Amino acid sequence: MLHRLATSLRRPAVPPFSAAVRCLSSGSVDITVPLNFWAGTRQTSQEKCNTEKVYEPATGRVLCHLEPCGAAEVNQAVETAKSAFGHWSKMSGMERAKIMIEAAHIIESRREEIAEIEVVNNGKSITESRLDVDSARLCIEYYAALATTLAGQHVQLPGGSFAYTRREPLGVCVGIGAWNYPFQIAAWKSAPALACGNSMVFKPSPVTPVTAVLLAEVYAKAGAPEGLYNVVQGGQETGSLLCHHPDVAKVSFTGSVPTGKKIMEMASQGVKYVTLELGGKSPLLIFQDSDLENAVSGALMANFLSQGQVCSNGTRVFVHKDVLPEFVEEVVKRTRAIEIGDPLLESTRMGALVSMSHLERVLSFVDQAKKEGATVLCGGEPFVPSDPKLKGGYYMTPCVLGNCTDEMTCVKEEIFGPVMSVLSFESEEEVLLRANDSPLGLAAGVFTRDVKRAHRVVEHLKAGSCFINNYNITPVEVPFGGFKMSGIGRENGKVTIEHYSQLKSVYVEMGDVDSLF
């Protein structure tokens, strides 16, 4: 199975395997096959002279060389997607669903393979990576089911006339992914697009380019028309070509606010549909009546999943002053116990950050916090695993900052790393004002035993995805997206169908034309 990903592995190819068998190890993979995919197969870019190095976060070694796509390759990918759209859009929802369900079955059968390659390319733990692959599969299954339900509305009008609506696909959609959830985001964007009858050209982050092409191969093997889902590699220039392309109907982007603004501006020139899932600096409110053990667990989940590289993370942890000492003691104790190291080991709970530059950026936020008066309660330092092959990896100890205030940089800016800022509050009214004092509004959470308070607080939190007595739970049935500068549109849930389709109204006259002329 692995030979389809790389023609050069340092260990021989292996048969299908279960989650209990480790088939890859950190530092063992070299990828030499093309990572672009259109017209039903992997493609080599004409931009070979401009290849970029892609690194394995766990070891710091070069994993492969990325061949970015220029105008010629983007045109080919869009053209093949446009051709596939003509066939796919005319298929019934049941016919589309059959192929999507088969794709989900293939993902399930290749779960461990995909999860391991995701770890090698991204650095997160194998435990989390498996859950990401499961989320991708469930998303495709969910939208396969919705594909069979797409329908319009019948409206009875006077005199026997009537009107009806048709929900129709948009055409060629572009997905632009982020590096923190490469395979999952590719599925989250493609599943609703394909369910509605669209085709897609997907551009993964150049930092994590490897697994998106696996999804392309999955769709192809499942029986999708040639060119239905395509992958083009590259950075800003490739993304710009896609956003400006006249045959692209929609752009869905996950990433930073500044890049999201640029994509929105580019898409506006062609009046294209846009979905933006952008950054966050989310608040987590822990009241004095909380189940403290659950609250600590929630705070850890809100800050340290994927090495803290999650846009919805609740990094501003507001704790009521009456339980602050007890909360801090327990959260520091459990943070120090997090096992850091080889992300392909079952015991590891925190792997490597995605790149050296990003690691340095996160550590600089910790240094800045100390200069501004915050106290490092634990962590916040580079970490060197004992395994010699991991010494070049991008590791740090998870960090808890105390004595934080609302004006500090660590509280105001998105760090996107394993850094928790703990703040104290005294009243519900006060903490709501502070929690909402941000230009971002992706997520928020509250821990309390008081049901009335929980719903009252959530009503006043200015965020698109809110959690009561838990955090970072994202079922594919539930819409996900933000308020304010955290984005436009939604991913997952039934409502996303509206973001990948358009409504046509048809009036049917059953009598004579009543002309004024």
Burial 189-209 (b: 16+ CB within 10 A, else e): bbbbbbbbbbbbbbbbbbbbb
Would the pLDDT of 511 be above 50?
yes
pLDDT of residue 100: 98
Q: Which residues are catalytic?
A: 277
pLDDT tens string 81-126:
999 999 999 999 999 999 999 999 999 999 999 999 999 999 999 9
Burial 167-187 (b: 16+ CB within 10 A, else e): bbbbbbbbbbbbbbbbbbbbb
Would the pLDDT of 512 be above 70?
yes
**Token pair recorded at residue 78:** 């869009």
Dihedral angle, C-alpha 53, 55, 60, 63, nearest 10 °: -90
Q: Is 271 left (phi over 0), alpha (psi -120 to 50) or beta?
A: left
**Token pair recorded at residue 260:** 């999201």
Q: Helix, strand, or coil here: 80?
A: helix
pLDDT of residue 25: 84
CA-wise closest residue to 409 among 344, 475, 361: 361
The amino acid at 455: H
**Token pair recorded at residue 56:** 């394995």
Would the pLDDT of 14 be above 90?
no
The C-alpha atoms of residue 168 and residue 199 are separated, in whole angstroms, by 13
- Per the listing, tokens 């327990």 go with 330
The arithmetic mean of pLDDT across residues 417-432, rounded, is 98
pLDDT of residue 48: 65
Q: Helix, strand, or coil here: 235?
A: coil
Q: Say which residues have a Cβ less than 8 Å from residue 274's Cβ, sequence separation at least 6.
A: 250, 251, 252, 253, 263, 264, 267, 268, 488, 489
CA-wise closest residue to 179 among 202, 217, 201, 206: 206
CA-wise closest residue to 134 among 115, 120, 116: 115
Q: Lowest mean pLDDT: which of 22-26, 276-280, 424-428?
A: 22-26
The C-alpha atoms of residue 103 and residue 111 are separated, in whole angstroms, by 12
Q: Say which residues have a Cβ less than 8 Å from residue 283's Cβ, sequence separation at least 6.
A: 314, 316, 317, 318, 434, 435, 436, 438, 444, 445, 461, 463
pLDDT of residue 10: 34
Q: Is 279 left (phi over 0), alpha (psi -120 to 50) or beta?
A: beta
Q: For 148-272, where are the alpha helices, taking DSSP H only? A: 182-195, 212-222, 236-244, 257-268
**Token pair recorded at residue 8:** 């050069």
Q: Are strands 465-468 and 501-508 parallel, antiparallel or unpaired?
A: unpaired
CA-wise closest residue to 217 among 238, 205, 202, 234: 202
pLDDT tens string 449-475:
999 999 999 999 999 999 999 999 999
Would the pLDDT of 8 be above 70?
no
**Token pair recorded at residue 332:** 């520091």
The C-alpha atoms of residue 468 and residue 222 are separated, in whole angstroms, by 39
- For CA atoms 377, 380, 385, 388, the dihedral sign is negative
pLDDT of residue 50: 82
Counted residue by residue, the chain has a size of 517
pLDDT of residue 20: 38
pLDDT of residue 27: 79
pLDDT tens string 294-315:
999 999 999 999 999 999 999 9
Cβ atoms of residues 200 and 228 within 8 Å: yes
Cβ atoms of residues 196 and 150 within 8 Å: yes
Tell me the pLDDT of the chain averaged across its residues: 94
pLDDT of residue 493: 98
Q: Lowest mean pLDDT: which of 38-47, 302-311, 358-367?
A: 38-47
Q: Say which residues have a Cβ less than 8 Å from residue 83's Cβ, sequence separation at least 6.
A: 226, 227
C-alpha distances in angstroms, 261 versus 203, 255, 265?
A: 17, 10, 6
DSSP-based helix, strand, coil % in the chain, nearest 5: 40, 20, 40
- Per the listing, tokens 């672009």 go with 36
**Token pair recorded at residue 215:** 């999804």
Would the pLDDT of 18 be above 70?
no
C-alpha distances in angstroms, 400 versus 331, 335, 339, 421, 423?
A: 8, 8, 16, 6, 11
Would the pLDDT of 484 be above 60?
yes
pTM of the predicted protein model: 0.94
pLDDT of residue 28: 84
- Per the listing, tokens 């079955």 go with 105
Would the pLDDT of 12 be above 80?
no
Q: Lowest mean pLDDT: which of 28-32, 33-37, 78-82, 118-122?
A: 28-32
Identify the band that residue 74 occupies on the pLDDT scale cut at 50, 70 and 90. Answer: very high
